Amino acid sequence: MNTQLPTPQSDANETPEVAPPIPTELALVTSSHTSGDMATAAIKYRFARLLTTTVALLAIIFGTPFLVQQIQYSLEYGRIIAKYDAAAIHIDSQSIKSISLASELVSYKVTPSVVHIHTSTTESGSRRSFQHPFAQSNLFPSRGQGSGVIVDAEGYIITNRHVIQGAEMIYVQLHDKTEQIAKVVGVDQLTDLALLKIQPTAMPAIEWSTAPTTNVGTMVWAIGSPFGLERTLTFGIVSATRRTAKVGTVYQEFLQTDVAINPGNSGGPLVNERGELVGINTAIVGDAYQGISFAVPSHVVKSVYERLKTSGVVSRGWLGLALEDVTAEHLAQRGTSQTGIDPIQGTVITSFPRGLSPAKAAGLLVGDILTRYNTTDILDTAHLIQLVGAQQNGEKVTIAYMRDGDPKVVSCILGLRPRE
């Protein structure tokens, strides 16, 4: 028989047990301790934030320049590498190779025609040797030496007059290292050119330019002996043409270039990309190269060469008149005007010398505006002087001119230019 034990029943009237109250003093201590911890934590938090902010500000202040520098360095490095990669790709292109190859070929073709010139005088006692310039007492010799170029297989050499001026003996060293004594065929003071003659040589003569003019921007090379350093090649472009009296005489009509020319280059050739002679290097601004150099153009050189070779002197035609460039005032005074944007061209007669004047004898008068010489339009006064000087005395020429607004033409026999 199962006996069921009764389930304990809680007394509804029984009071639950309650924790004994904390003493007042202990509660106050606990509360005070908790508040202190919170205050300390808040102070620490604020300090940490202040420290973090300070560090961040210091990092920004002192780290920003470094960061900017690193960014700039990275950008610059990127640009350098980009240029490097581009250069690596394009440096082998045909256009770049063609310029480099042109310089090499010009050197190969022209150098055998170039000579090195040394002179001796009584003052020097003996000629300068052809040893390397750095072995000489004068580190950079420039007096009594220069360059020249063979223009004829018979041994004719063109150089500058100032290279051989005052020399008693002229020594020419050829490209094959052989040496000859040269004689002077003739000189032309007005163009500062001289023609020398040596024995016929196997070294080739340079080719003359076949182009009637050399244009601004044309690539040109110079070969010569700057400071005695033989067979030096330099490169540049034609910067301007028809530079006249400001840097020489009206008969020189310089080509201006930016090719590096120094003492010793005088008399050497200026050539184009085909190795053809376009000028003789003659002058610089200052005592050493400063970015501007001048060369007598080949058409002037060839004219002087042919006349010196034929007669040993350069006789020039002469009209016998004084001139000045035409201005708008000249045109207005004479009932003539010029329209459009083209520059005013021509030259006006201002006076005649005493005595014989071929131009006056032909009927020209003061105030006439000369516009054409034979078949060539006259650009300015210097241009007409060059045209007349390029012809011999006794030649018959035709001159077109304006008088009181009317075009006229006259024929004239050139006289011989008086010696100055």
Catalytic center residues? 162, 192, 266
CA distances for 75 relative to 66, 78, 88, 360, angstroms: 14, 5, 20, 75
Return contacts of 46-53, CB within 8 angstroms, 24+ apart: none
Pairing mode, strands 207-208 and 369-373: unpaired
Check: CB of residue 288 under 8 Å from CB of residue 358.
Answer: no
Check: CB of residue 304 under 8 Å from CB of residue 315.
Answer: no
Residue 30: in which H helix or E strand, if any? helix 24-90
Q: Tell me the torsion sign for CA atoms 282, 284, 290, 292.
A: negative
Check: CB of residue 291 under 8 Å from CB of residue 240.
Answer: no
Separation of alpha carbons 121 and 144, rounded Å = 9
State the Cα angle at 383 between 381 and 389, rounded to 5°: 105
Instruction: Look at residues 403, 146, 139, 154 and name the one whose alpha carbon lies nearest to residue 281.
Output: 146
Alpha carbon dihedral 206, 207, 212, 214, in 10-degree steps, equals -50
